Structure 1
Amino acid sequence: MPEPSRPALDEIRLVVRDRYGAAARAVETGAATGGGCCGGAQVSPLVVTAYDPDALRDLPQEAVLAALGCGNPTALAALKPGEIVLDLGSGGGIDVLLSARRVGPTGFAYGLDMTDEMLELAERNRQQAGIENARFLKGHIEEIPLPDASVDVIISNCVINLSGDKDRVLREAWRVLRPSGRFAVADIVVRGRLLPPVRQSLSAWSACVGGALSEEEYREKLAAAGFIDISVEATRELTLDELMGDCCGGGGADLQALTTLQAEHGTLISAFIRARKP
């Protein structure tokens, strides 16, 4: 069955940038509602369950409020002292700051994001946390501004699904990883298929739904990029209205109907995806 048409890469980038810029401004003004990929409370429920509460208490509150992911890639990656880490789509910086602490003063953590407001928020959080071994870079995850074979670990938290060119993202990830480097991300995947109205919706893309790959597609794309030791581990089932309700005015009858219909064709899942560069 041919894949349903999807929005163009530039359209996707624009709506994602607008949404996450607004999320950063909401944190700055005290109006944050957790309205990113996963959540509609003050702090995303997935953030509350994914992270060690003691680790979160040591971070600036703004870094926690801006956490809009679907897992904890810093724990998934099993980071070691001295490693160089890159977070794709670093947002308010929560995973970069945690990574910098895990790798210690002999290691380093980079965060890459395309949204100015998130980069500014992340840098303020870094300074407030007193972390020196971290840096935030502006750019696209399809064009990573780092040299070949320059990092040991790539992490990402519910961001790769936001890209309209995932093959390019994974090729870039492979390029910047050193030999034996690890790829360890949390992301949304679909078991089954996404309905065309979901795949074609810009709101669905910005809510981490429209661009979700199937488990098989993720494995195939990672293998095509050159990765080995690939695994996809489901962690939690999610519903369409959980992911899209906040960005669509709280949902409504149309979204509820689409949620029911989507559930008949495919299940949305937060997952851990692991792989390794030979």
Structure 2
Amino acid sequence: MKREDDIRANVRDNYAKVALKLNSTQGCCTPASSCCNPNDNQNISIEEISLKMGYTKEELESIPDGANMGLSCGNPQTIADLKPGEIVVDLGSGGGFDCFLAAPKVGREGQVIGIDMTPEMISKARCSAEKPGFENVEFRLGEIEHMPVADHTADIIISNCVINLSPNKQQVFKEAFRILKTGGRLAISDVVLTATLPESYLSDMNLYSGCISGAISIAEYEVLLKDAGFTNISIEPKDDSKELIREWEPNYDLENYIVSAIILAVK
């Protein structure tokens, strides 16, 4: 248990720093004057990261300033097939990026709930949600292993490069199954292992917070989803993501070990 708590504390601290770094002194909803990606790689901008992950310029221009923090490893919007009136839950919602993109797709009759365990992220996202047009979006502080959502609430769960960060993924999927309605869908982007990580990578807490050390294989992902009760499971690795993954930590050969994937499942 201590190991799990240590991991959560490290991840929470890391993303609190990201949220605070991207806030300016002029207002919580205003991005810093010169933002880079979370790993301080000056060679690629947040917009470039998002475009490479499959978002469009129109999508990026439609959300509140500062909501896109460059923390994606894919675009769950492309696989979610959101419909008007649906209730969406975003696991590890961060600054609210995918929540704000989902909001117009489910419309006024729908609802988008973002869950994040980092108070600084929740504050940032709530501030952005005050902008007109996002009245159907709310953000709740909580761990994705213990979601602050009632049973059988969600039509669909989305998530973007977050579940790898959990030290108890089986509990995440059990909770996801609990809050979904019968027939509800899971549509997430995450990183998966393509080869066994070196021991030195596994023991590096910074690499865990950087979405590396906590990644699991496709086979293990599928087993965890099945054990939670999900069916119609599809896990598709995206080999074209390796170029961007190489940029995450240029001093490591990460592209030899992990790849972004899109994961679909049904309750």
Whether the TM-score (by the shorter chain) exceeds 0.5 is: yes
Amino acid at match of 2:162: V
What per-residue deviation string (whole Å, max 9, x for no partner) do you get for residues 164-199 of structure 1? 000000000000000010000000001121121112
Q: Quick one: percent identity of the two aligned structures?
A: 38
Provide the secondary structure at the position in 2 that maps to 1:110.
strand
Letter of the structure 1 residue corresponding to residue 19 of structure 2: A
Find the counterpart in structure 1 of residue 61 from structure 2: 57
1:273 aligns with 2:237: no
Q: Secondary structure at the match of 2:263?
A: strand
The residue identity in structure 1 corresponding to 2:264 is R
Residue correspondence of structure 1 range 1-278 to structure 2 within 5 A? 8-29=3-24, 30=32, 31-35=34-38, 41-43=44-46, 45-49=48-52, 50-64=54-68, 66-235=69-238, 236-238=240-242, 242-245=247-250, 255-256=251-252, 259=253, 267-277=257-267
Q: Distance in 2 between matches of 1:100 and 1:209?
A: 30
Q: 1:241 to 1:234 in 2, by over 3 A?
A: closer
**One-letter amino acid of the counterpart of residue 139, structure 1:** G
- Letter in structure 1 aligned against 2:78: A
Normalising to structure 1: TM-score of the pair? 0.86
Distance 1:238 1:37, change over 3 A: farther
Counterpart Cα distance in 2 of 1:156 and 1:7: 26
CA distance in 1, matches of 2:201, 2:79: 29
Structure 2: runs of 5 or more not aligned: 25-31
Which of structure 1's runs of 4+ aligned residues deviate more than 2 A? 36-42, 236-245
Residue range with higher mean Cα deviation, 46-55 or 105-114: 46-55
Gap change, CA 1:129 and 1:213, over 3 Å in 2 = farther
Query: How many residue pairs align between the two structures?
Result: 256
Cα deviation for residue 7 of structure 1 reads 8.3
Gaps of 5+ in 1: 1-5, 246-254
Aligned partners of 1:270, 1:37: CA distance in 2, in Å? 20
Contact residue 92 and residue 122 of structure 1 kept, 8 A: yes
For residues 78 and 39 of structure 2, what CA distance do their matches in structure 1 show? 21
Instruction: Please say if residues 62 and 101 of structure 2, whose CA atoms lie closer than 8 Å, have aligned partners that are also in contact.
Output: no
Contact 2:39 2:249 in 1 (8 A): no
Distance 1:17 1:229, change over 3 A: same
Matches of 2:126 and 2:39, distance apart in 1: 19
SS in 2 for 1:14: helix
Separation in structure 1 between the aligned mates of residue 76 and residue 40 of structure 2, nearest angstrom: 15
- Shift of residue 207, structure 1, vs aligned partner: 0.4
Choose 133-142 or 234-243, whichever is displaced more: 234-243
